Structures are given as structure tokens and as C-alpha cells.
Amino acid sequence: MNAAEIIKDIKARKFKPVYLLHGEEPYYIDQIIHYMEEHVLNDMEKGFNQTVLYGKDTDMATIMNASKRYPMMSDYQLIIVKEAQDLKWAKETEGSSKEAEFVLNYFEKPMPTTILVLGYKYANFDKRKKIYKAIDKQGIVFQSELVRDYKLAAWIDDLVKEKDYKIAPQASALMAEYLGTDLSKISNEVEKLILNISRDITIDTDLVQKNIGISKEYNVFELQKALASRNVLKCNQIVNYFADNPKANPMVMVMANLNAYFSKILKYHYLPNKGDAAKELGVNPY
């Protein structure tokens, strides 16, 4: 199941007793957890039946004991463990500890009135573990994978479309190049963009530059164009602008973009079939 399908089921009140949300991309994990926090229980039920714990501040015994409670004046209790990657997970070895057996037993037979959500971010949970297999059988396991840089523009297109707005391909490509792979940051910038425009307006590069703070003349993309055309004067103007405005143009971001740019040029020169360059280089054709 993907994030949208999980949220759709939650909206339809189709719950599982355990959710393991893991993976390198935190955006979808946060999205699912936030939706569950807001919508699983109503305001009256939350006081006694909604618990939020953090991996570094709790342990599995506490989580298990909380999970075995019965809800009060509600059909369910919701227990959310954020940053579950910081938990000290009991080792599964021959002659495993009583704690490991205690934890595994719960996941094999979870409380039907408890909804336990484990947000395990920035890494993949070990699929070889018995706990993983038990959760996969009794609940939902969702792996949140990173969106590769060459898929970012399409991801932005889909995000804008979901919100019933339109964006030009050049604009989504510009956002992808400038904002990088931080999906939360991209989502926030899209929210800013659509805040003051009507749905009949297509988001173009001018709107992106104006609202995200990309200088129209002095940005890393114009620097790339100047380098490609060997326009030394323009290159110097842009570099001097960067030096005068370091906060708007962090050196790390500039160097990362230039490195990616020259890497693609190098790859392009060695392509046997340059007709498929966009596909081979993993770049947006715009």
C-alpha cells in the first residue's frame, strides 16, 4: 500500500492494530502520522486514548504495556511512537531475552482495540526480523522510499495536480533543481505558491522565482547558462551577486548544482545515442 491508500483506509475507518512506517524518506511517514493524529479519534476521545511517545525517551516495555490497555469510552486507543529508529530494539538471537519474546508475542497477537503506529525514519527496518514479519502479517508495513532527483519534477507536477492547480513543466523543473530532494520543503513552497493564486492560473517560472526567492537574473541556473555560452562577464556578475548574498545562495547548494551540471555534460559526451539523452541522464527534457 502507498501513503494515499493508507490514508484512504483510515478515512474509511478501516484500521489495523499495528502500523510500521519505515524508510529513508520522512515525508510520507510524517504525512500518515499527522493524519492519524488528527482523524483517528475525536477531540473527546483523545484525552484518555491518544498517546504520543518518542523513541529516544521510551522503551519497548513501556510501549507494550501501554498497548495492552483498553480504551476508555472509545472503540480504540491510538499510540504513536515517533522517531522509533531511536528505540533500543531487543536483539533476536537464539535464546532471545524475555523482553524480545514479550515484544514478539504482542506483535503476533496485537490488541484489536489498540492502534499502534511506529514511525521509523531515515532507514529501512530489517525485513529479516521476526517482528517485521509479524507486523506484516497482522498489520500494515509501509516503506517510504526516497524520490530520486530525476523524478522530482514529475513528483511536483503530481503534488500540484492533487491540489487542483496547474504548473508548467519548466516551473516544476526549476523547483526541483533549486529545492533539491527535501519533499517537506517542496510541499511547503507549493503551499506558498498556491496561497495567492486562483485555480485558473498556471504556475510558471516567473511565479516560482518571485515566491521562492530565486533571483531572475542571478541564480545558479543562469550561471550554468553563462558558463555554457562562455559569457565571462555574466559569470562574474552572478558570482559577485552570490558573494554579496550568501544566505540566498549557499555555497554548498551552488557547488552541488554545478557538480550535477558538469557531471551530466560529461555523461552526455559519452552517450552512444544522444537522441535519448534526457532519459539516459535522468533529467527533465525541459
CATH, residue 27: 3.40.50.300
CA 220, CA 216: separation in Å to the nearest integer?
Answer: 10
In a domain, 286, yes or no: no
124 secondary structure, DSSP code: -
Residues 124, 154: one domain? no
Q: What is the model's pLDDT at position 95?
A: 47
DSSP reduced 3-state for 220:
helix
Residues 163, 125: one domain? no
Residues 34, 55: one domain? yes
Q: What is the model's pLDDT at position 67?
A: 96
Instruction: Name residues of the chain where pLDDT drops below 50.
Output: 94-95
CA 199, CA 26: separation in Å to the nearest integer?
Answer: 29
pTM of the model: 0.77
Residues 111, 173: one domain? no
The number of distinct structural domains making up the chain is 2
**Cα-Cα-Cα-Cα dihedral sign, residues 147, 182, 158, 202:** negative
**Cα pseudo-dihedral 269, 274, 280, 284, rounded to 10:** 100
Last residue of a domain, one of 91, 111, 143: 143
Task: Give me the count of residues in the chain.
Answer: 286
Last residue of a domain, one of 109, 127, 143: 143
Residues 181, 114: one domain? no
Residues 46, 125: one domain? yes
Q: Domain of 256?
A: 149-281
216 secondary structure, DSSP code: S
Q: What is the model's pLDDT at position 250?
A: 82
Q: What is the model's pLDDT at position 286?
A: 54
Residues 136, 7: one domain? yes
**Cα-Cα-Cα-Cα dihedral sign, residues 79, 82, 87, 90:** positive
Residues 34, 129: one domain? yes
In a domain, 157, yes or no: yes
Residues 201, 156: one domain? yes
236 secondary structure, DSSP code: H
Residues 135, 74: one domain? yes
Contacts of 193 (CB under 8 A, 6+ apart): 203, 207, 208, 211, 212
Residues 86, 204: one domain? no
CA 181, CA 262: separation in Å to the nearest integer?
Answer: 19
Tens of pLDDT, residues 79-116: 999 999 999 876 765 445 777 888 999 999 999 999 99
Residues 95, 227: one domain? no
Contacts of 217 (CB under 8 A, 6+ apart): 238
Last residue of a domain, one of 109, 124, 143: 143
Q: What is the model's pLDDT at position 277?
A: 64
In a domain, 75, yes or no: yes
